[in-house]
Amino acid sequence: MEINLKITKESFEQAVPVAREPKGNIFAKLEERINACIEDIADDRLGDVGIAECNAHEDGKLAKTVLSLASVDVFLHQMRDLDLVLTASGFGVVSTQNTAPASKMRVDALDGEMRVELLRLNDELSELCFKLEGWYQQGLVVIESLFCFFKLMKPFGGFQSPLAKDWQDAQAVILSTDRWLREKISDEYMNELIEQMATNSLTAPNRGIVHQIRRIIGVAMQGNNQAVTEYYRRLMNTLEADTETFSTYAGSLAYETNHFKPYENTEDSGAFHFVG
């Protein structure tokens, strides 16, 4: 299925206010790339379900988010090649006597802002897709853990103003902690939690478990092993206290492993061996 969305100057400048200029030179240079990026987002993130939603509601929230995401993405990766100059309203690409070349410091600052905005829009796109019935199979391609949102860095990771580099640097810890937790609570149960999250259908008990798991990943990112141990103990106590509610975990090999009892060599056993 093809997506019908096309970027306009108005939509581009709403997404990237610093690129607003009367002549539209920046938009003209980026329009083709932005439309190509929209198609990539449709293929990689939206799938047929998301594309159908955008085509049916071109003024809807999902469509607007796709346009903004594509605009910011392309501007971010092309802006250093645009020969940006400072203007009264922001940046431009045509130098006149009333403009000055944009300093590297200003461009670097803009780069940082755009990278954070790109991550924010990625979060927004995922949350909107989670609400679409039938989208989850597409989500399997892009969702790697319960800690899949940049916005979680502040409440769980301890970052007051997280940067894109903070998010990038945290990926290894996020994935390794997710893998460790899967060994403890099972792939089956972790996948159940991710599916419920990605279909906007988390039960109240599982919502609490997701919170606890995100808290474990967050303190792991901070290198606080003592807190990891304590929050993991609380997580397991919650699961073990109600195996009927958390039946997927209780029926898993991970549960059996956690409750493994070594063979006891007793006199009643046919394999009893006297050690003297």
For residues 98 and 208, state if they share a domain: no
pLDDT tens digits, 12-32 = 999 999 888 777 788 999 999
What pairs with residue 91 in β-bridges? 86
For residues 118 and 166, state if they share a domain: no
Which positions ≥6 away from 68 have C-beta within 8 Å?
Answer: 11, 14, 15, 121
Quote the CA–CA distance of 156 and 14 in Å, as a whole number. 31
Per-residue confidence band for 114, with pLDDT thresholds at 50, 70 and 90:
very high
Does residue 274 fall inside a structural domain? no
Does residue 242 fall inside a structural domain? yes
Largest CA distance in the chain: 100
For residues 234 and 176, state if they share a domain: yes
Mean pLDDT, the chain, whole residue set: 88
pLDDT tens digits, 137-157 = 888 878 989 999 999 999 999
pLDDT tens digits, 190-243 = 999 999 999 999 999 999 999 999 999 999 999 999 999 999 999 999 999 999
Residue 95, pLDDT above cutoff 50: no
Q: Name which of 180, 181, 176, 187 is nearest 252 in CA terms.
A: 187
pLDDT at 253: 96
For residues 31 and 106, state if they share a domain: yes
For 235, the domain range is 150-258
For residues 133 and 167, state if they share a domain: no
Q: Name which of 7, 165, 29 is nearest 91 in CA terms.
A: 29
Q: Flag the least confident range among 175-179, 192-196, 249-253, 263-267.
A: 263-267
Determine the distance from the C-alpha atom of residue 91 to the mean position of all C-alpha atoms in its chain, rounded to a whole number.
30
Q: Flag the least confident range among 4-8, 80-84, 189-193.
A: 80-84
For residues 40 and 119, state if they share a domain: yes
Quote the CA–CA distance of 243 and 250 in Å, as a whole number. 6
Angle at 238 between CA 237 and CA 244, to 5 degrees: 115
Residue 74, pLDDT above cutoff 80: yes
Contact predicate 83/128, CB 8 Å: no
pTM, two decimals, is: 0.86
Q: Encode the chain in three state secondary structure.
A: CCCCCCCCHHHHHHHCHHHCCCCCHHHHHHHHHHHHHHHHHHHHHHHHHHHHHHHHCCCCHHHHHHHHHHHHHHHHHHHHHCCCEECCCCEECCCCCCCEECCHHHHHHHHHHHHHHHHHHHHHHHHHHHCCCCCHHHHHHHCCCCCCCHHHHCCCCCCCCCCHHHHHHHHHHHHHHHHHHHHHHCHHHHHHHHHHHHCCCCCHHHHHHHHHHHHHHHHHHCCCHHHHHHHHHHHHHHHHHCCCCCHHHHCCHHHHHHCCCCCCCCCCCCCCCCCC
Per-residue confidence band for 106, with pLDDT thresholds at 50, 70 and 90:
confident
For residues 135 and 17, state if they share a domain: yes
* Last-in-domain residue among 122, 142, 162: 142
pLDDT tens digits, 155-185 = 999 999 999 999 999 999 999 999 999 999 9
For residues 13 and 138, state if they share a domain: yes
Per-residue confidence band for 110, with pLDDT thresholds at 50, 70 and 90:
confident
Per-residue confidence band for 96, with pLDDT thresholds at 50, 70 and 90:
very low
pLDDT at 15: 96
Does residue 83 fall inside a structural domain? yes
Quote the CA–CA distance of 256 and 260 in Å, as a whole number. 6
Strands 100-101 and 85-86: antiparallel
Does residue 200 fall inside a structural domain? yes
For residues 138 and 173, state if they share a domain: no
Q: What percent of the chain has pLDDT over 90?
A: 75
Quote the CA–CA distance of 189 and 247 in Å, as a whole number. 9
